[in-house]
Amino acid sequence: MYIARVWPMYDSRMLPHPLTRRQWLGLTAAAAIAPAAERLEITSIKAAPLSINSMAIPKAGEPLGDFDPKRWRNFGPYAQLPAAILVQIRTKDGLTGYGIGGGGAAACLIIEQHLAPMLKGTNALNIELLWEQMFASTSFYGRRGLALQAISGIDLALWDLAGRRANLPVYQLLGGPTAERVKAYYTSNEVERGLKLGFRAIKIHGFETFRDGPTGLKKNVQKILDARKRAGPETQLMLDALCAWDAPYTLELAARAAETKLYFIEEPLLPDDMEGYARLCREIKGPRIASGEHEASIYGFRELIRNRAAHILQPDVTWSGGLTDGRRVAAAAEAAGALLIPHRGGSVYGMTLLLTSHAPILAESFGTGESGNELMEMLTTKLVDGHYLPPPGPGFGVEFPAAFLRKHTPSLA
């Protein structure tokens, strides 16, 4: 065992969570963005689908009809990156802020018909207030999924506006960085390529599911053994199961692959299997259990903490509630003794959360090594010697030129 299974007492009634001095200073710094006399009036909120990468959608009926294994992995057109949206917020004095959300055209409809009319005319610097109003107003049909992915994009655009107004990177508005750079890990099965790019931590993916039985389990273990051999003994090695297993299967796989000294196993179970995750955290020997890429809001992450169902929390601020909520998750993780390794932490948004957290650990690759994707390259911070550097400013440091908008989101040009 190379992780201490020690969790402090946690009381779900504690709201807000106990804060360190640094977190308190960060919160007060954020509150200082919008003094009573300062107003940045929102005049327009628009959103458009913006596919970051493609994902093939398996067709039903081929070759095994209703029981085709691919039908268990049919994530549809609203899953993660293929359904990314770009949110554009403009203000009365001519500032424009941008944020990335999720949920595709469906989330854009929520923004167009519900959130944009509600926020028009409000003060864009009241970020915390607007988040609470949006979350409360969508809770009867949202709470997770599309509505929260829409809120995430708006929230990030508001923070971008605040940074541009102050002419500072967003992380400086929140008290400044806690590290000069953050160690990066490469999510890919191309281990050698990751090492060549400079990464010293690799996460492999694309595993057989528990429905594939003993044969699939054997293939999975061999895949991990091969990856360790190619990566060498000094490289941190992790795996992403993409919710394809159950608890007994995960425990058996971890035992069979113990010699590889995995750092963590990411999302082995479906997100709602809280009992299964809690069992894994109690019983697994060796690797940590990571979860949260598909969790949403501080309320969902609080349940992971309360049930001791994850050693590592992985919020993605473009889906899980934006930077406003991501900071709450980071504070709760610190208070509970859990680790924070955001999903796609190498993006400008994930790095902003990491750099203002207590102790940045790892930032997942985003765009690095994924040539040909213009947007992902724009949203990725610079990689130097296996570490991501802070994003430039002001705001999140990303410009969306008119030519780019005309090409990818003409309605926002």
Distance of CA 129 to the CA centre of its chain: 22
Q: Are 150 and 110 in contact (CB under 8 A)?
A: yes
Half-sphere exposure of 3 (CA within 13 A, CB side): 22
Q: Sort strands 42-49 and 363-364 into parallel, antiparallel or unpaired.
A: unpaired
Rg (C-alpha) for the chain, rounded Å, is 21
Q: How many other CB atoms are found less than 10 A from the CB of residue 378?
A: 16
**Would you say how long the chain is, in residues?**
413
Read off the DSSP letter of residue 209. P
Read off the DSSP letter of residue 59. P
Q: Are 290 and 239 in contact (CB under 8 A)?
A: no
How is residue 136 written in tokens?
């409360």
* Known catalytic residue at 343: yes
Q: Is 351 exposed, middle or buried (0-12, 13-18, 19+ CB in 10 A)?
A: buried
383 phi-psi bin (left φ>0, alpha ψ -120 to 50, beta other): beta
Q: Are 389 and 183 in contact (CB under 8 A)?
A: no
Residues 6+ apart with CB under 8 A from 28: none
Cα angle, residue 333 at apex, residues 330 and 337 outer, rounded to 5°: 145
From 17, 294, 311, 343, active-site residue? 343
Q: How far is CA 283 from CA 5, 50, 248, 266, 304, in A?
A: 10, 41, 10, 16, 16
Q: Which residue, among 76, 158, 74, 79, has the nearest Cα to 111 in the 3D structure?
A: 158
Q: Which residue, among 305, 369, 367, 361, has the nearest Cα to 338 in the 3D structure?
A: 305
CA distance 242 to 267: 6
Provide the Cα torsion 49, 50, 56, 60; round to 10°.
0
CA distance 194 to 179: 23
Active site residues: 343
